[in-house]
């Protein structure tokens, strides 16, 4: 078999690509987005040629069209609904970004007030959820609790699980954005044996989350606005990232018609992995393991040796082949938080030295490995008082709006179908069953 792909222009001016398989020519439409690379629509390749395409990890495959987030990995650009992440991190708030991602536009004042009010009034969870929590072991990883408790929401909110009803879809979206911080704080409180703290409608989204995490019933708790703003910015940085592994998981789960709470639980499970959301926890552990700056060269040498099984955590990205724009904001936030708290964390020194050494090392330069958002986030989150086991939970809180906006977009997309990849089968060909007595 020979296969040749060409991309000539069509006579009518539209773009097309040609695939030649066994001398049979198949023409495929080429679609252009607003910005970014064109895509070859291979949807009819199998029907027209009898061959599948093969792309483990979807490195060259677009699974959907989307209007939500755009990334230019070579230039280090990240846009939410067209707005650069740096501008949003500096000028916006997470709740405003939630409106932007979910509804497509920045809200005017009236829309903002309404949206904030709706989200605020959905922050409480069904009281019976507290008993659900007590079924978990106290030493359970909070991400394990999140997988279970978010999945359980579908057992509590039946009135927003009809995915065909746009009103229910919106209510479920608001519930997810509003209740995720409450569940995350409950998972944290449960793990340290403290009583749950109810949400407070007088506080903004992120300050409310901080008080649910750090207040105790026996004394007043005042949220530090500098720290609340820093965490809010961290939420903005993590709010969406186009078709990453957990978002694709949410879309795939949702493509079967599963309810949104179940889909987000699937996304949380995917996010937990160290190659994705678990990287900030892994990056901080790595910095602690390195300890003294004098150990950096030996650690970098190990990270370059494939046989060591060790990677430089917080470095490299599937899409960014340049400095992750979120990492720049995160480094700045890290400095601000440490300054405000008066903390002189030697891990920041270690991180900055490690970054410089890696950025000047041929291995990392050639492979275009730069710091990603998780390289500095662990230091900030630790300074804010969160244990490492909570880091990925915080990522989940922030990413919830991205997951739900992408889920909603998929459900409303007339081109969406159940996700069903094909495979290259390399197992045994057809063979006959043998009786156990006759097996070798
Ligand atoms: N340290 C050392 N070598 C690396 C690293 C690293 N952090 N990342 C990639 N490489 C090497 C890898 O060994 C491979 O080498 P070769 O071409 O010789 O086989 C090459 O670079 C390409 O790596 P890959 O694994 O094929 O690339 P990928 O796009 O599949 O992986 C990644 C992307 C993020 C999983 C990977 O860079 C990684 O494991 N980084 C560390 C974990 C991390 O920080 N993850 C957070 C990602 S950002 C947050 C998020 O979006 O969830």
Ligand 1: distance of its center to the CA of 281 in Å?
16
Percentage of residues of the chain with pLDDT beyond 70: 97
**pLDDT confidence band for 276 (50 / 70 / 90):** confident
- Interior/surface letters 226-253, b for 16+ CB within 10 angstroms, e for the rest: ebbbbbbbbbbbbbbbbbbbbbbbbbbb
Among 67-71, 284-288, 329-333, top mean pLDDT goes to: 67-71
Collapsed DSSP state (helix, strand, coil) of residue 138? coil
Q: What is the pLDDT of residue 277?
A: 85
275 pLDDT above the threshold of 90: no
Per-residue confidence (pLDDT) for residue 354, from 0 to 100: 92
Q: Judge contact between 212 and 199, C-beta under 8 A.
A: yes
Alpha-carbon span 416 to 254, nearest angstrom: 10
The answer to whether residue 99 scores a pLDDT higher than 90 is yes
Instruction: Tokens for 289, please give them.
Output: 């393991």
Contact 376, 330 (CB under 8 A): yes
The answer on pLDDT for 29 being more than 70 is: yes
Distance between start and end Cα atoms, the chain? 38
- Structure confidence at residue 326 as a pLDDT band (50, 70, 90): very high
Q: What is the pLDDT of residue 335?
A: 87
User: Which of 177-191, 243-257, 314-328 shows the lowest mean pLDDT across its residues?
Assistant: 314-328
CA dihedral 217, 222, 223, 224 (to 10 degrees): -150
Which residue, by CA, sits nearest to atom 52 of ligand 1?
A: 276
Residue 233 has pLDDT above 60, yes or no: yes
Average pLDDT over residues 392-399: 96
Q: What is the mean pLDDT of residues 340-361?
A: 89
pLDDT exceeds 60 at position 7:
no
Which atom of ligand 1 is nearest to 277's Cα?
A: 52
Pocket of ligand 1 (CB under 6 A): 241, 244, 275-277, 279, 303, 306, 311-318, 367, 369, 372-374
- Segment 12-19 shows an average pLDDT of 84
123, 190, 338 from 216: Cα distances, Å = 18, 13, 24
Instruction: Give the integer Cα–Cα distance in Å for 418 and 246.
Output: 17
Mean pLDDT of the 377-398 span: 93
* Secondary structure (3-state) at 426: coil
Q: Of 241, 317, 324, 361, which is the active-site residue?
A: 317
Query: What band does 298 get if pLDDT is binned at 50, 70 and 90?
Result: very high
pLDDT(180) > 90: yes
State the average pLDDT over residues 19-33: 94
Nearest Cα residue to atom 24 of ligand 1: 318
Mean per-residue pLDDT for 96-116? Answer: 98
CA 382, 388, 392, 396 dihedral sign is: negative
Q: Strands 77-80, 83-84: parallel, antiparallel or unpaired by DSSP?
A: antiparallel
User: What pLDDT is attached to residue 279?
Assistant: 85
What does the pLDDT average to over 211-229? 95
User: Can you say whether residue 368 is alpha, beta or left, with left for phi > 0 and alpha for psi between -120 and 50 degrees?
Assistant: left
* Cβ-contact 247, 402 below 8 angstroms: yes
Active site residue 374: yes
User: What's the confidence (pLDDT) of residue 299?
Assistant: 94
Whether pLDDT at 123 is above 90: yes
Confirm if 154 and 211 have CB atoms less than 8 A apart: no
Residue 10 has a pLDDT of 59
DSSP assignment of 148-179? HHHHHHHHH-GGG--TT-HHHHHHHHHHHHHH
Q: What is the mean pLDDT of the chain?
A: 93
Instruction: In whole angstroms, give the CA distance from residue 377 to residue 331.
Output: 8
pLDDT value at 174 more than 90:
yes
Q: How confident is the model at residue 274 (pLDDT cuts 50, 70, 90)?
A: confident
Burial category of 41 from C-beta neighbours within 10 Å (exposed 0-12, middle 13-18, buried 19 and up):
middle
- Residue 364 CA, ligand 1 centroid: distance in Å: 10
317 is catalytic: yes
Task: Give residue 11's pLDDT.
Answer: 60
The stretch 86-104 carries a mean pLDDT of 97
Strand, coil or helix: 19: strand
Q: At residue 400, does pLDDT exceed 80?
A: yes
Q: Going by CA atoms, what residue is nearest to atom 16 of ligand 1?
A: 367
pLDDT (average), residues 8-35 = 86
């Amino acid at each position: 078999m020979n296969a040749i792909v060409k991309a000539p222009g069509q006579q009518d001016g539209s773009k097309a690509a040609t695939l030649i398989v066994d001398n049979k020519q198949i023409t495929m439409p080429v679609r252009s987005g607003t910005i970014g690379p064109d895509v070859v629509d291979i949807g009819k390749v199998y029907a027209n040629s009898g061959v599948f395409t093969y792309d483990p990890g979807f490195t060259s495959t677009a699974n959907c069209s989307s209007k939500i987030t755009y990334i230019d990995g070579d230039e280090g650009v990240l846009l939410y609904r067209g707005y650069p992440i740096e501008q949003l991190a500096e000028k916006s708030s997470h709740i405003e970004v939630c409106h932007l991602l979910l509804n497509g536009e920045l809200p005017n004042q009236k829309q903002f007030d309404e949206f904030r009010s709706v989200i605020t009034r959905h922050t409480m969870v069904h009281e019976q959820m507290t008993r659900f929590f007590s079924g978990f072991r106290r030493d359970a990883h909070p991400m394990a609790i999140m997988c279970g408790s978010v999945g359980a929401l579908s057992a509590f909110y039946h009135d927003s699980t009809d995915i065909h009803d746009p009103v229910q879809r919106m209510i479920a979206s608001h519930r997810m954005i509003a209740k995720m911080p409450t569940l995350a704080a409950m998972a944290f409180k449960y793990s340290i044996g403290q009583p749950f703290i109810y949400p407070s409608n007088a506080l903004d989204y992120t300050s409310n989350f901080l008080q649910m995490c750090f207040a105790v019933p026996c004394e007043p708790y005042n949220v530090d606005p500098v720290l609340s703003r820093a965490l809010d910015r961290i939420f903005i940085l993590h709010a969406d990232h186009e078709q990453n592994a957990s978002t694709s998981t949410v879309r795939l789960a949702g493509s079967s018609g599963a309810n949104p709470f179940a889909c987000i639980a699937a996304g949380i499970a995917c996010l937990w992995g160290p190659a994705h959301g678990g990287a900030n926890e892994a990056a901080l552990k790595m910095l602690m393991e390195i300890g003294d700056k004098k150990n950096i060269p030996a650690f970098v040498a190990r990270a370059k040796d494939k046989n060591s099984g060790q990677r430089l955590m917080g470095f490299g990205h599937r899409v960014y082949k340049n400095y992750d724009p979120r990492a720049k904001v995160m480094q700045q936030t890290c400095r601000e938080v440490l300054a405000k708290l008066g903390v002189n964390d030697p891990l920041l020194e270690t991180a900055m030295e490690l970054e410089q050494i890696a950025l000047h090392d041929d291995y990392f330069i050639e492979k275009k490995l730069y710091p990603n958002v998780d390289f500095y986030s662990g230091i900030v989150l630790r300074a804010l008082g969160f244990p490492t086991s909570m880091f990925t939970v915080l990522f989940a809180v922030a990413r919830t709006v991205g997951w739900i906006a992408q889920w909603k977009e998929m459900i409303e997309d007339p081109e969406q179908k159940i996700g069903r990849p094909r495979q290259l089968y390399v197992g045994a060909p057809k063979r006959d069953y043998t009786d156990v007595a006759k097996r070798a």
